[in-house]
Amino acid sequence: AGAWVPGQAENLLRASDTAKMLHLPLVYLLNCSGVEFPNQDKVYPNRRGGGTPFFRNSELNQLGVPVIVGIYGTNPAGGGYHSISPTVLIAHQDANMAVGGAGILSGMNPKGFIDEETAEGIIAAQIENSKHHVPAPGSVPIHYDETGFFREVYENDLGVIEGIKKYISYLPAYNLEFFRVDTPKAPQFPAEDLYSIVPMNQKRPYDMYEVIGTIVDNNEFLEVHADYAKNIIVGFARFNGQSVGIVANQPKVMAGCLDSNASRKAGRFVRFCDAFNIPLVTLVDVPGFLPGTGQEYNGVILHGAKLLYAYGEATVPKITVTLRKSYGGAYCVMSSKHLRGDMNYAWPTAEIAVMGPSGAVEVIFAKEVAAAEDPKACAAEKEAEYKKAFANPYNAAQYGYIDDVIEPRNTRFRIIRALQQLQTKKLSNPAKKHDNLPL
């Protein structure tokens, strides 16, 4: 069942040593049942066995060498630990990955420690869950939809292989290599389509995928974590052949708000791109962070700090385009000038302010609106005043926080030109042992 046997760690270490020496991506295809029990003394405590290959995966990531893992079948315990620190983790639709199975929990003598007292009880609970269509622990629905651990899921073995090839095509061999450039390909849709895709009404939703498909090479976009935190989109594309990472709010889901999961998803992707020298293009249409007790209990401020930290830490070229709204703390977090954004553009429809006009009127002019003969008319008048004074891209441009207000049809051209200008960018963070990411 693909168990760890004596000598297997040596093979893994030989492969990782070669990847480290030659600066080549390391690819794992995993279907491992863990350590072979009868020979565990020759595998687990061994100085070059046990957790050493896991450490090597972490070391390769620190050195900027991609580690790409394809998960097949069942991978409990040691089989799953290979995925602790990969660059990319993709899976077969029948894959399963967990820290341990029923037998391990039973051996822990967990009476009073967990609900299920025996292996039989755990198995019975899993059977009962399956009757009610509850996903099994470690299954694709858990790691793809709920935890966001699997980046992509494919229906068959060859699909996983093709997925790995796609990722390698966007990644450099290692992080000191020049930006990955392929053959330039023109988009298949006219740039004027952008005017019909994005509504003028700030409260009307639209599909950000249509915007991405209109501006990138050949309309090709390799999305990451597609079914996890759908209110934000992350993935790879090319502009004039150059590989970039795209982060974009999705107004079609939760109005594009940032919540805990979206912040973690985007923060992880931003750090990924920075680690492997991939420029970042950020498309902004965000009304703010999602409020509510549920989000506060889930640590939305902590998770939002991860995204802010990731953008602030990133030294790769960072290009930001604000399409419609960008309010409050979410404006700051989404690759603003304050976080060392290199080129920050905005469409004429952009509203950049502490909060939206309707909300601001309720706070600032509440007494005036309440005392007016026609409260609705008064509120509309105050909203128009607020938009003219604050909620537009020109104030931000006046103070240097927006580099230019651009026509939507010029978005692709301006991004390509910015990438060309920033190819020689050299920026380093202060010398340190390591950073203090808000985990």
| 158-180 per-position pLDDT tens digit | 999 999 999 889 988 777 776 67
| pLDDT on residue 129 | 57
Distance CA 155, CA 178 (A): 34
Selection from 345, 334, 342, 294 nearest residue 316 by Cα: 342
Beta strand pairing status for 280-286 and 232-239?
Answer: unpaired
Say if residues 263 and 301 touch (Cβ distance below 8 Å): no
Quick one: pLDDT at residue 385?
86
Supply the pLDDT for residue 116: 44
- Residue ranges of the chain whose pLDDT lies below 50: 110, 112-119
The answer to whether 163 touches 154, Cβ cutoff 8 Å, is yes
Token pair listed for 189: 């849709």
Joined tokens for residue 348: 């004429």
pLDDT recorded at residue 134: 53
Helix (H) or strand (E) holding 62: helix 52-62
Helix and strand numbers, DSSP H then E, in the chain: 19, 14
**CA neighbor of 106 nearest in space, from 90, 130, 124:** 124
Closest CA to 246 of 228, 266, 260, 264: 266
User: Which residues share a beta bridge with 153?
Assistant: 91
Residue 136 is encoded by which pair of tokens? 């099994």
pTM: 0.86
Q: Scan for tokens 């005017």, then name that residue.
A: 195
Determine what percent of the chain falls in helix, strand and coil, rounding each to the nearest 5: 45, 20, 40
Q: What is the pLDDT of residue 171?
A: 87
- Start-end of H helices in 339-408: 357-364, 366-371, 375-389, 393-398
Cβ contact 306:438 at 8 Å: yes
Q: Give the span between the Cα atoms of 28 and 5, in whole angstroms.
A: 17
pLDDT (0 to 100) of residue 233: 98
Helix (H, G, I), strand (E, B) or coil at 407: coil
